[in-house]
Amino acid sequence: MKLLKNSTLLACGLALCAMPQTILAKGVTPKPGENPDISYTVSFGEELSKTPAKRTITIPNVGEFRVLKGDFHIHTLFSDGRVWPTQRVIEADGNGLDVIAITDHIEYRPFVGGVPRKNKAGKVTNFPLLNGTEDYNLSYEIAKVEAGKRKLLLVRGTEITKSKMPPGHVNALFVTDVNKIAAKQDDFREMFKEAVAQGGFLLWNHPGWEAPKSGGIEKGAPTTFTDVHTEMYEKGWMHGIEAFNGKQFYPVVAKWCTDKNLAVFANSDIHPPEFDMYGVRNPLRPITLIFAKEKTLESVREAFFAKRTIGWAANMIFGQEKWVRQLFDACVEIKKEGGNLIFVNRSSIPAKIKVGEQTVTLDPMSNATAQSGAAAKTITVENWLVGKYKPLIVPVN
């Protein structure tokens, strides 16, 4: 026992010696002559805080448009997410986003609210709402208070969640009352009609998600535009598609969006806390870029229906060529100096540029040089995609 105590004391002594002087100076050791029976609170706030600073994302204006950053597929405890709605706002603000939509499921609410769910023993496992009535707008109402404090735009939305593909899962964004959509949940077509009648924007979620029992495709199956999705598109029940969801990329979506003039999205579809999915303020996380006339919900909605969106995730840009090209021109300046090409990146978006037989990496907010590249007539931006495996090609003037 005596040895254990000595060992413990030794370990404590070593730990104390290893403490940075800034911490020791905080009052860990008593001052000479100080009464040992008197102590004061010591704050280690700055020393113990390891959270990175709020992320800053720099993207120049594209012509008359501001480039807003958003995530339009987010879950909370009011469906199958793991955090309170307020926390989603805090995470988004820390990531440098301008606008988000909380899109809790209508049909699947295993934690709070929804249809009572029972385990094999017959015990209800989800918590009913205290007033005894279901309110599918509640997560939005809770989050909007914090969003207002942080000047983060919050879109009212929901996820229409069918267990079979097609139609799979569809987000309804910019709706006015989710309860009226939920009231029609026995018929997905009626749900779509109601969402559109409210002025809603319908987004086809994760078209290549492999989960046949939960509304996804069969494992190993190709990502296809089915007859039901053609019907949705022709009836005005589809306005955009996720090309990137969570940690998955569906290359064919950029082509679909170009061919059918649909808006492209890169969303997190986040369920756990941000830290557990991406780490803290990870620059590789998915973000949807919106070309908006100003930072207002009305401008974001107008941009959605005008299809002025681009996906950005895992150091990739993808979308319709007319918007991707304009974004590149706004972000990257190309200069000729001697026989070289100089690339100046004025944004937080990286670019992998092929000039002839050489490839240069243009990091965020940096310069790069292509030696003897001035004779090139075009460059290929390999990580900026405008179709299925189709990189952006930019002429050199």
Check: pTM over 0.75? Answer yes or no. yes
| Structure confidence by residue, pLDDT tens digits, 161-189 | 999 999 999 999 999 999 999 999 999 99
Contact 92, 57 (CB under 8 A): no
How many secondary structure helices (H) and strands (E) does the chain include?
Answer: 12, 18
| Structure confidence by residue, pLDDT tens digits, 194-209 | 999 999 999 999 999 9
Tokens 């079979």 sit on residue: 164
Tokens 């404090």 sit on residue: 149
Other beta carbons less than 10 A from residue 108's beta carbon = 18
Beta strands per DSSP E along the chain: 66-74, 99-102, 153-161, 169-173, 201-204, 240-245, 248-249, 263-267, 287-292, 309-313, 316-318, 332-337, 340-345, 351-355, 358-362, 367-370, 378-387, 390-395
Taking the CA atoms of 106, 110, 115 and 119 in sequence, report the sign of the dihedral they define.
Answer: positive
Task: State the amino acid at position 206 in one-letter form.
Answer: H
Rounded to whole angstroms, the Cα distance separating 3 from 5 reads 5
Contact 272, 278 (CB under 8 A): no
Instruction: Please state the length of the chain.
Output: 397
Query: Binning pLDDT at 50, 70 and 90, where does residue 132 land?
Result: low
Calculate the alpha carbon distances from 55 to 48, 177, 378 in Å.
20, 33, 34
User: Angle of helix 138-149 relative to helix 85-94, nearest 10 degrees?
Assistant: 40
Contact 99, 60 (CB under 8 A): no
| Structure confidence by residue, pLDDT tens digits, 28-72 | 677 788 887 887 888 888 788 888 889 999 999 999 999 999 999
pLDDT at 369 over 60: yes
Mean pLDDT across the stretch 373-377?
91
Query: Binning pLDDT at 50, 70 and 90, where does residue 359 land?
Result: very high
Angle among Cα 57, 67, 253 to the nearest 5 degrees reads 100
Helix (H, G, I), strand (E, B) or coil at 85: helix
Taking the CA atoms of 213, 216, 222 and 227 in sequence, report the sign of the dihedral they define.
Answer: positive
Task: Locate 220 and state its tokens.
Answer: 């190993």
Q: What is the pLDDT at residue 169?
A: 98
Q: What is the pLDDT at residue 166?
A: 97
* Phi-psi group of 334: left, alpha or beta (phi > 0 → left; psi -120 to 50 → alpha; rest → beta): beta
